[in-house]
Amino acid sequence: MAGGRGLVQRLATFLTGLLECMGFAGVIFGWASLVFVLKNEKYFDNLCIQAENGTTNSSVVPDCSAQDEQFSLVFTIGAFMNNFVTLPNGYIYDHFGTRVIRLIGIFLYTIATLLIAFSTADTAILLFPALSLLSSGGIVFLLTNIQVGNLFDAHRSTIITLYNGAFDSSSAVFLLVKVLHESGFSLKSMFLFISACSVGHLLRTFFLMPRTHIPYPVPEGYSYGLPCGKVAGYNVSDPSKSLEAPTGGSTADGRLREDEEARETMMGKAGAEQSGPSFWSCVFSKLFGFHLLWLSVMQLRHYLFIGMLNVMLSRLAHGDTATISRYTNAFAFTQFCGVFCAPWNGIIMDRHKRGKKAAENTEDSLADLRSSVLSLAITVMQCVVFSICATIPVLSVQYATFIFQVLNRSFLYGGNAAFMSIAFPPAHFGKLFGLVMTLSALVALLQYPCFSLVKDVLHGDPFYMNIGFLIVILLAFAHPINVFLECRRRQKKLLEGGQKQPAVLGEEAKHMHDESEM
């Protein structure tokens, strides 16, 4: 690929990926705004009970707690699917490549938006499959765009966290839906437009994304995508060879290039498998276990906050619709700012990595792992502050809660993706990323019993539950401490044995095996 054209294509891939994540990937987390619209459209309205207040002149106030519980269940299942399907998605991504998993994701996303577009108050039950498919397809956009960071080595962590921030910011799409609905646009027309945007996803899949994966580090002469009038493919082993089809487009030549690409892909996977630890040794490592704990407790805290936001605002605002709408808009707007918050985490990791590597002359794998310690600890501290603010039952304080929530959520998911990419072998990234998201999704299912606990036992007051979560979140500090100790152990081993750090990132299991043999 020519240098100028290659740079343009990489920038186009980066910018369109940012737009894709920001506009589509995580829209389900703007649920609070969509609930406001769905209530106006009378979805699940039949679950409201007309409660008598004992006075003859006062208006009857409906009890809609059952309606709120149904909306909470829709979000719980949708949020669960957002993480749970990441494991099969990761497996397909690792074994069949980017193009296959993106086509599956685009299909699921399109079906989901069409279900919402053609749903009505009478068919509100369609929200259950629609939200599940919407989150299942949306996470594919994030999963396949994380590899774009490999194209920009010096800013890899920054780009990964930026995409995760864009994923968070996409929740503001439902704020736009809410605002347009209040301006007279129908729910059907808006979701039909979102569905039509799948054409853009398809074009990007074929022209600006690889058929298999973007390697790391990127070999010289690497190319990807499907250039107009040329055969798709790339030649990593010999970048000097032209990849362009000769005039006339020989079928045999095209088959030869396809065979070469398939062989390179298989050799790359085989080499990665042999040079690094196995998938299961990574799964049963302490790094993976503590990271799962770190992600699960904080993710559950965020899911519960989002799922109960409308109920919490209704309680603090004493049912005033205008106040609830204003705070819902404020929350959705702060979610949009996630794209600006997330890169800070990547910048911290990239700068910390360069500083440590220059000061101590350590290799990339250990420098990468060390760079994550500060990021992991800051993320836990942010979640503690966010939880404290959420515990205070004062409506105006919730503005601060919204700010800390989006900041922490951006650091959480950006840091999760970055840590998984640097702490474990690239050959297992899709499967490990999917597994940690799936297992954390099982923990996130606790949000529904927590909602029921607040509703039935605590009489709608989440104060004591928030106190309990604040204590649980402190357990997440175990992860950065464990990573710090692991880095010290690896550095000590390098100094004592004079051995070089292995090229494959995050080989905790392999180091433990080496020690057992000594």
511 part of a folded domain:
no
Average pLDDT over residues 102-118: 96
55 part of a folded domain:
no
Q: Which neighbouring-strand residues pair with 61?
A: 51
Which range is least confidently modeled, 28-37, 56-65, 197-206, 454-463? 56-65
**Residues 132 and 8 placed together within one structural domain of the fold:** yes
Task: Please give the model's pTM, rounded to 2 decimal places.
Answer: 0.69
The length of the chain, given as a count of residues? 518
177: tokens are 């839906």
**Residues 187 and 327 placed together within one structural domain of the fold:** no
Q: What's the rounded Cα separation, in Å, for the pair 447 and 380?
A: 20
Contact 77, 128 (CB under 8 A): yes
Residue 180 has pLDDT above 90, yes or no: yes
What pLDDT score does 493 carry? 84
Average pLDDT over residues 114-127: 95
What pLDDT score does 242 carry? 37
Q: What is the DSSP letter of 427?
A: G
164 part of a folded domain:
no
Tens digits of residue pLDDT in 255-300:
444 544 544 444 444 444 445 678 899 999 999 999 999 999 999 9
Tens digits of residue pLDDT in 440-495:
988 988 888 888 888 788 877 888 888 998 999 999 999 999 999 998 888 888 88
What pLDDT score does 51 carry? 61
**Residues 211 and 286 placed together within one structural domain of the fold:** no
181: tokens are 């609905």
132 part of a folded domain:
yes
What pLDDT score does 471 carry? 92
**Residues 6 and 110 placed together within one structural domain of the fold:** yes
86 part of a folded domain:
yes
Which of the listed residues 215, 248, 268 is the one where a domain comes to its end? Answer: 215
Cα 106 versus chain centre, distance: 16
234 part of a folded domain:
no
Looking at the 3D structure of the chain, how many domains does it have? 2
**Residues 320 and 442 placed together within one structural domain of the fold:** yes
512 part of a folded domain:
no
**Residues 11 and 128 placed together within one structural domain of the fold:** yes
The Cα-based distances of 434 to 241, 431, 483, 490 in angstroms read 36, 5, 21, 27
- Amino acid identity, residue 293? L
Domain range for 401: 282-498
**Residues 186 and 322 placed together within one structural domain of the fold:** no
Burial track 217-251 (b if 16+ CB lie within 10 A, e otherwise):
eeeebbbbbbeeeebbbbbbeeeeeebebeeeeee
Helix (H) or strand (E) holding 49: strand 49-51
What pLDDT score does 483 carry? 93
Confidence bin at 503 (pLDDT 50/70/90):
very low
The residue with tokens 């956009």 is: 141
- State the alpha helices, DSSP H only, in 426-462: 429-444, 447-452
**Residues 193 and 286 placed together within one structural domain of the fold:** no
Question: Could you tell me what percent of the chain has a pLDDT over 70?
Answer: 80
226: tokens are 């499907």
**Residues 318 and 209 placed together within one structural domain of the fold:** no
Confidence bin at 69 (pLDDT 50/70/90):
confident
CATH of the domain at 88: 1.20.1250.20
- Strand residues in 185-279 grouped as ranges (E): none
337 or 475, greater pLDDT: 475
Q: β-pairing, 61-63 with 49-51?
A: antiparallel
Residue 253 has pLDDT above 80, yes or no: no
- What torsion do the CA atoms of 62, 67, 71, 72 make, to the nearest 10 degrees? 90
Q: What is the DSSP letter of 209?
A: S
Residue 61 has pLDDT above 80, yes or no: no
What pLDDT score does 259 carry? 47
- State the alpha helices, DSSP H only, in 52-186: 65-84, 86-96, 98-117, 127-145, 156-169, 173-182
491 part of a folded domain:
yes
**Residues 457 and 367 placed together within one structural domain of the fold:** yes
Confidence bin at 362 (pLDDT 50/70/90):
low
Neighbouring residues of 262: CB distance < 8 A, sequence distance ≥ 6? none
3-class DSSP string for 460-516: CCCHHHHHHHHHHHHHHHHHHHHHHHHHHHHHHHHHHHCCCCCCCCCCHHHHHHHHH
**Arithmetic mean of pLDDT over the chain:** 81
- Amino acid identity, residue 337? C
What pLDDT score does 141 carry? 95
